[in-house]
Amino acid sequence: MTDTAISAAPRRVSDNAALVAKRYRSERRFKLYGIAAIAVTAVFLVLLFADILVKGLPAFFEHRMMLPVSVSQEAIDPQNSKDPKIIRTGDFDGPIRESFRAMFPDVTSRGDRKKLLGLLSSGAADDFRAMVVNNPSLIGTDAKVPVLLSDDADQYLKGRQTGVAKIAGQGTITASADGEKFKLVTDKTPVLTAGDIVRLNGGAFRVVSADNGAYLAEQVTAPKSLDPANAGAWDIVRFTVTEHNRRIDDQEALWLEQLKEKGVAENGIAWRFFSSGDSREPELAGIRGALTGSILTLLVTLFLCLPIGVAAAIYLEEFAPKNRLTQLIEVNINNLAAVPSIVFGLLGLAMFLNFFGLPRSAPLVGGLVLALLVLPTIIIASRAALRAVPPSIKEAALGVGASHQQAIFHHVLPLAMPGIMTGTIIGMAHALGETAPLLMIGMVAFIVDIPGGFTDAATALPIQIYLWSDLPEIAFQSKTAGAIIVLLVFLFVMNAAAILLRKRFERRW
C-alpha cells in the first residue's frame, strides 16, 4: 500500500507539470490565433483602403491649361448691357477654342482641328463664363483663363492610358518620301523599333517596320521640311501601349506631350469635385449634390428619430407596466431592427409616396424612410444607456422627494445621454450608408441641380457611388473611388464625434 502511495505521489507531480505545460501551451496557441485573426483583418483592411486611395486620389486632381483669352465685347455682351443674365448667354466657347487652336498653328485641316478641339472638355468654357459673370469688368481686356481638358486627355496626362518614354535623337536623321511612306536614315547605330514615333522638323513619323536598320515610317503630322535633323533637333517618343489599344491616338498623344513640354497643362486640385453636382462628363462631375442630399436626408432622420426614439425608450424602460403587451412591443422592436432595409423602402413607397402623395426623390421622404430604419436601433441603444445608470441615483432622487418624472429627467437622462448620443450617431452612420430603401422612392437618379430644400429632387452619397460605378467611362472609376473616400471621411467624422461625446460626458461609478 505504501508502495503505491510513494510511487504514485511523484507520478502525480510529474503529471501536474505536464498538465500545466499543456495549459500554457494551449493558452499560447489561443493568443496566437487571436493575433493571426487580427493580422488577417488588418491586412484586408489595409489592402482595401490602399486600393481605394490609389484609385480615388486621381479624382481629386484635374488637368487644365491657363490660356490667354481676349474677352471680346462682341462675343459676350454686344449691347454692353452689363447684365449677368445676358452675359451668361454669350459665346464663351468661341474665344477659348480660338486661343487653344492658336497654340497649334500647324493644325489646319478640318478633321484635325475637330480632333484637336476634342481634347477640350465640353465644359471647358464653364470657368471662363463664371469668371466673367462674376467680374464683368474683364470684358474688353485680355485674361488668363483656366481651360479644362477632356476626361481622356486628363487620363492620358495622368499616365493612366500608356507609359511614355522620350529618347533624345543621336546623330543625324533624314526622312525621305518613299511612295506613301517615308524612309528614315540615321548615321548612328539605329535604336528605333516598330511603333516608335520620331519627331523632327515640327512633324512626326510612326515607324512601321525596322529591318536591319532600314526604317519605313508613316506620317502622323506633316513636317515643315524634309531637311536632315541633327542630334538634339529630333527625338523618339515610345509608348508602352500601342495606338489601337488606347483611347488617345498617337496624334492626340503628341499634342498632349507638346502641351506638357510647353508647361501649359498643369495638374491642379479639382475643387469642382466638391463644388458641382452630377454630370455625364467625368471631368465635370462633382459630389456636392449627393453630399447635400445626404445631409438633408440625415437632418430629417435625426429630427424624427432622436425625440421619438428617446421618448419611446424612456417610456418602455421607466414607465411602462411590465405586461404581455409591452413584452410584445419589446420583442417586435428587436425584430424590426433586423428587417432588411429594402422592406422599409417598399413601406416608404406605399405610405409616403402613394398614400400621403409626397414628391418622389425628395430628401424629406428619404429621411422619413431612414428614420423608420434606424428608430429600433436608437430605441435599443437608448434603453441600454438608461439601464446602465445605477438605480441608486434614481432612488436617491425619489428619496429626497422628487417625482418619478423629475428623477428621470433631472438625473437619469443626463447621465444616460452620452450612451444615447453614441447610439444615435452610430444609427445615423448606418443610415448614411443605405441605398436599398432609397431605391424604391426614386432617389437613384441623375440629378444635376444641387438640392436647395427638403422637397427638391436629390440623391445621396452611396447612391452616387453606385451610379458612377455603372457608367462606361474609365474616368468615372476614379470618381467612384473618390466618392467612396468622401463617404468614408464622413463616416469617420461621425464615429469620431460619437467617441468624443462619450469620452467627454461619460461618468464612471
Stretch that binds another protein, among 191-199, 226-234, 438-446, 494-502 (CB under 8 A): 438-446
Minimum distance between the CB of residue 264 and another protein, rounded to whole angstroms? 24
Picking from 259, 238, 260, the residue whose alpha carbon sits closest to that of residue 250 is 238
Answer yes or no: are the C-beta atoms of 195 and 207 closer than 8 Å: yes
Minimum distance between the CB of residue 447 and another protein, rounded to whole angstroms? 5
Q: Which of 25, 82, 224, 360 binds another protein (CB under 8 A)?
A: 360
User: Cα–Cα distances in Å, from 121 out to 64, 65, 131, 281, 299?
Assistant: 10, 11, 17, 8, 36
Q: What is the DSSP secondary-structure string of 46-82?
A: HHHHHHHHHHHGGGGEEEEEEEEEE--HHHH-TT---
Cα gap 250→246, rounded to integer Å: 9
Cα gap 71→80, rounded to integer Å: 13
Q: Does 275 bind another protein (CB under 8 A)?
A: no
Answer yes or no: are the C-beta atoms of 69 and 127 closer than 8 Å: no
Q: Does 350 bind another protein (CB under 8 A)?
A: no
> What residues form DSSP beta bridges with 181?
178
Minimum distance between the CB of residue 325 and another protein, rounded to whole angstroms? 20
Minimum distance between the CB of residue 84 and another protein, rounded to whole angstroms? 13
Answer yes or no: are the C-beta atoms of 171 and 186 closer than 8 Å: yes
Minimum distance between the CB of residue 352 and another protein, rounded to whole angstroms? 8
The CA-to-CA distance between both ends of the chain, in Å, stands at 59
Q: Which of 253, 291, 378, 447 binds another protein (CB under 8 A)?
A: 447
Q: Does 445 bind another protein (CB under 8 A)?
A: yes
Q: Using the minimum distance from each CB to another protein, give the nearer residue, 93 or 266.
A: 93
Stretch that binds another protein, among 51-59, 275-283, 319-327, 403-411 (CB under 8 A): 275-283
Q: Using the minimum distance from each CB to another protein, give the nearer residue, 448 or 494.
A: 448
User: Cα–Cα distances in Å, from 174 out to 196, 201, 372?
Assistant: 16, 10, 77
Answer yes or no: are the C-beta atoms of 338 and 351 closer than 8 Å: no
Picking from 414, 411, 417, the residue whose alpha carbon sits closest to that of residue 393 is 411
Minimum distance between the CB of residue 277 and another protein, rounded to whole angstroms? 8
Q: Using the minimum distance from each CB to another protein, give the nearer residue, 69 or 465.
A: 465
Using DSSP, state whether 206 is helix, strand or coil: strand
* Of residues 294-313, those binding another protein (CB under 8 A): 304, 307-308, 311
Q: Does 244 bind another protein (CB under 8 A)?
A: yes
Q: Which of 131, 264, 448, 494 binds another protein (CB under 8 A)?
A: 448
Stretch that binds another protein, among 75-83, 90-98, 134-142, 445-453 (CB under 8 A): 445-453
**How are beta strands 181-186 and 214-221 bridged, if at all?**
antiparallel
Q: Does 409 bind another protein (CB under 8 A)?
A: no
* Of residues 155-184, those binding another protein (CB under 8 A): 161
- Number of neighbours of residue 94 by Cβ within 10 angstroms: 14
DSSP annotation of 195 reads T
CA-based diameter of the chain, in Å?
125
Stretch that binds another protein, among 61-69, 98-106, 350-358, 488-496 (CB under 8 A): 350-358
Cα gap 255→262, rounded to integer Å: 11
309 burial (CB, 10 Å; 0-12 / 13-18 / 19+) is buried
Q: Using the minimum distance from each CB to another protein, give the nearer residue, 244 or 504.
A: 244
Cα gap 461→486, rounded to integer Å: 8
* Of residues 449-488, those binding another protein (CB under 8 A): 449, 455, 457, 467, 469-474, 477
* Of residues 365-404, those binding another protein (CB under 8 A): none
Q: Does 84 bind another protein (CB under 8 A)?
A: no
Stretch that binds another protein, among 242-250, 268-276, 319-327, 494-502 (CB under 8 A): 242-250
Q: Using the minimum distance from each CB to another protein, give the nearer residue, 131 or 444.
A: 444
Q: Using the minimum distance from each CB to another protein, give the nearer residue, 280 or 410.
A: 280
Minimum distance between the CB of residue 125 and another protein, rounded to whole angstroms? 11
Using DSSP, state whether 412 is helix, strand or coil: helix
Q: Using the minimum distance from each CB to another protein, give the nearer residue, 110 or 322.
A: 110
Minimum distance between the CB of residue 463 and another protein, rounded to whole angstroms? 10
- Number of neighbours of residue 288 by Cβ within 10 angstroms: 16
Q: Using the minimum distance from each CB to another protein, give the nearer residue, 445 or 494.
A: 445
Cα gap 220→198, rounded to integer Å: 9
Minimum distance between the CB of residue 506 and another protein, rounded to whole angstroms? 28
Minimum distance between the CB of residue 88 and another protein, rounded to whole angstroms? 9
Q: Which of 24, 409, 446, 492 binds another protein (CB under 8 A)?
A: 446
Length of the chain: 509
Site track for another protein across 107-146, x = CB under 8 A:
---------------x------------------------
Instruction: Put residue 232 in one of left, alpha, beta given phi > 0 → left and psi -120 to 50 → alpha.
Output: left
HSE-CB at 100 with a 13 A cutoff on CA atoms is 28
Instruction: Put residue 202 in one of left, alpha, beta given phi > 0 → left and psi -120 to 50 → alpha.
Output: left
Cα gap 433→275, rounded to integer Å: 21
Site track for another protein across 309-348, x = CB under 8 A:
--x-------------------------------------
Binding site for another protein (CB under 8 A): 122, 161, 241, 244-247, 279-281, 304, 307-308, 311, 352, 356-362, 364, 442, 444-449, 455, 457, 467, 469-474, 477
